């Protein structure tokens, strides 16, 4: 059994989507970051960086923070949603792209554009421009592909699951997915998956999943 410590953020949804896709049993441990529960001493023992999500795997005794590490661990443990051969490293490449670029940059858009508009026009322009650049990068990668990794129908992997929840906040980012048709098609493809829909609403439903 796995304990999932999470909240209703793109990073939290990455792991709940993967757990739903795997179909393995897990217990949700909500960490309400609006109440600073991420600073509770018991949680800090599991996630010293005081960020969600984190997991405890009671089968192995392992506890992990950081979504990339968690997703790689779960995919390897269950031998699913990993690309094979050389494509494995492309999967890792795009997982790192999400963690090092897409997530942090879109997070800054949320902070300055969605929640604090007008406080820093420079920051709004800087991060909005970078968000659009990253959408174009993803749109280019998805040309002729169903998923981020592989050719043609490709492989549905943890890279897709890591990227998708950040794209699901395209409305926060002022992005019209119609401008990025490959991203829009890919977004709809994942949106149609029941496990993605279930994972989005962990630990609770706060809104309908944004459409195109």
Task: Give a yes or no: residue 209 inside a domain.
Answer: no
Of 128, 76, 69, nearest to 95 (Cα)? Answer: 69
Share of the chain above pLDDT 70, in %: 100
Clarify whether residues 71 and 112 are in a common domain.
no
Last residue within a domain, chosen from 19, 53, 78: 78
Question: What is the mean pLDDT of the segment spanning 11-34?
Answer: 98
Clarify whether residues 102 and 181 are in a common domain.
yes
Share of the chain above pLDDT 90, in %: 96
Clarify whether residues 102 and 189 are in a common domain.
yes
Domain count, the chain: 2
Output the pLDDT for position 165. Answer: 98
For residue 14, is pLDDT > 90?
Answer: yes
Higher-confidence residue of 35 and 212: namely: 35
Question: What is the mean pLDDT of the segment spanning 105-111?
Answer: 97
203 cis-preceded (ω within 30 degrees of 0): yes
Output the pLDDT for position 150. Answer: 87
CATH number at residue 24: 3.40.30.10
Clarify whether residues 64 and 20 are in a common domain.
yes
Q: Which domain holds residue 18?
A: 2-78
* pTM, two decimal places: 0.96
Question: What is the mean pLDDT of the segment spanning 10-16?
Answer: 98
Clarify whether residues 93 and 189 are in a common domain.
yes
Mean pLDDT of the chain: 96
Output the pLDDT for position 152. Answer: 77
Output the pLDDT for position 127. Answer: 97
Question: What is the mean pLDDT of the segment spanning 57-83?
Answer: 97
Question: What is the mean pLDDT of the segment spanning 145-157?
Answer: 89
Output the pLDDT for position 151. Answer: 80
């Amino acid at each position: 059994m796995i304990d999932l410590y999470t909240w209703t953020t793109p990073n939290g949804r990455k792991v709940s989507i993967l757990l739903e896709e795997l179909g393995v049993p897990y217990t949700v441990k909500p960490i309400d970051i609006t109440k600073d529960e991420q600073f509770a001493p018991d949680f800090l023992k599991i996630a010293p960086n005081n960020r969600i999500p984190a997991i405890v795997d009671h089968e192995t005794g392992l506890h992990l923070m950081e979504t990339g590490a968690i997703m790689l661990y779960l995919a390897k443990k269950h031998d699913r949603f990993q690309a094979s051969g050389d494509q494995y490293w492309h999967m890792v490449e795009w997982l790192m792209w999400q963690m090092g670029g897409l997530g942090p940059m879109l997070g800054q858009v949320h902070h300055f554009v969605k929640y604090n508009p007008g406080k820093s026009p420079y920051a709004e322009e800087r991060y909005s421009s970078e968000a659009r650049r990253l959408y174009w990068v993803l749109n280019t990668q998805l040309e002729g592909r169903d998923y981020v990794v592989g050719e043609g129908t490709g492989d549905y992997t943890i890279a897709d699951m890591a990227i998708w929840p950040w794209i699901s906040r395209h409305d926060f980012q002022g992005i019209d997915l119609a401008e990025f048709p490959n991203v829009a098609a890919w977004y709809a493809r994942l949106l149609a998956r029941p496990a993605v829909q279930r994972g989005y609403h962990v630990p609770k439903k706060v809104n309908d999943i944004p459409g195109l």
